[in-house]
Chains A and B, each alone.
Chain A
């Protein structure tokens, strides 16, 4: 579970930046070179490369083998883990509260029967 948690942390960190999210969305349409990825942004090539390194470390993109172009491709596996986790967060409270409803009825009845005995 620890390993999964660390994966989530690095995915969250990578997704926290709007430029990196835009890069991921561009890659969702297909592989692209660094130059193509940098084109829509008013930032330097090195700045784009830095974002790409963060995404790569988070396992969100992969680097192509072709020496000349080295296109980047999207790897969505960590995204799915994040979506599942965020969904879980809400489901956790929904499911727990449903159980609490029943449990509180049980506590109320128990209290009532204790009162009746006294």
Chain B
């Protein structure tokens, strides 16, 4: 289970075989958080990942069956595109979307749940992979949690090679 209680810290968990969960407490009411998460003019200001990326393209048709597409760009011209459809939307508490990076990539289901307490919002983002293998392959080489010994050794190997 997730235990994110402090603002400013992202809790990471793998609640079951196919999921990855990010939880963060945000110091704002959830209707603001929901807007920040679902309106392109807001999304383009923050959902940018590490320094150096911008989001020149951002479109989301916020209704069941509507599609979304985000394109990120780095200063050197590298681009990354993601898209999918909206499966469920219940402002200001729930947004379920599918996400795919490209035809070769497994489609994930991303569920954002917002709960509010005392003016603060807990945002729980759950990414569901099509299989345990797909999730593990995506996670285990680079992350610490739940690693089997052979993956731990792979990590060691990677450190040596760096």
Contacts and interface: CB of A to CB of B under 8 A. Distances in A.
Q: Do A and B come from one complex?
A: yes
A5 B49 contact: no
Interface string A16-29: 11100110110010
B114 to A, nearest CB: 12
Given A16-B134, A86-B143, A101-B26, A96 B47 contact: yes
A83 interface: yes
A28 B157 contact: yes
B94 interface: no
A24 B157 CA distance: 10
B158 A80 contact: yes
B22 interface: yes
A108 B154 CA distance: 46
Contacts of B24: 93, 97
Interface string B95-126: 00000011011000000000000000000010
Contact of B142 (A87, A104, A107): A87
A96 B161 contact: no
A86 B142 contact: yes
A118 B81 CA distance: 41
Nearest to A22: B150
Interface SS, B side: mixed
B137 A95 contact: no
A41 to B, nearest CB: 13
Contacts, number: 129
A93 B138 contact: no
B133 interface: yes
B13 to A, nearest CB: 12
Contacts of B153: 25, 28
Given A79-B157, A95-B48, A95-B51, 8 more contacts: A21-B154, A24-B154, A25-B153, A80-B161, A92-B50, A93-B10, A99-B46, A104-B32
Interface of B: 7-8, 10, 12, 22, 24, 26-28, 32-33, 35-36, 42, 45-51, 78-81, 101-102, 104-105, 125, 133-134, 136-143, 148, 150-151, 153-155, 157-158, 161-162
23 contacts: A1-B78, A1-B79, A2-B102, A5-B105, A15-B137, A25-B150, A25-B154, A28-B154, A28-B157, A76-B161, A79-B161, A80-B158, A80-B162, A82-B142, A86-B140, A89-B139, A93-B24, A96-B46, A96-B48, A99-B45, A100-B26, A101-B26, A102-B46
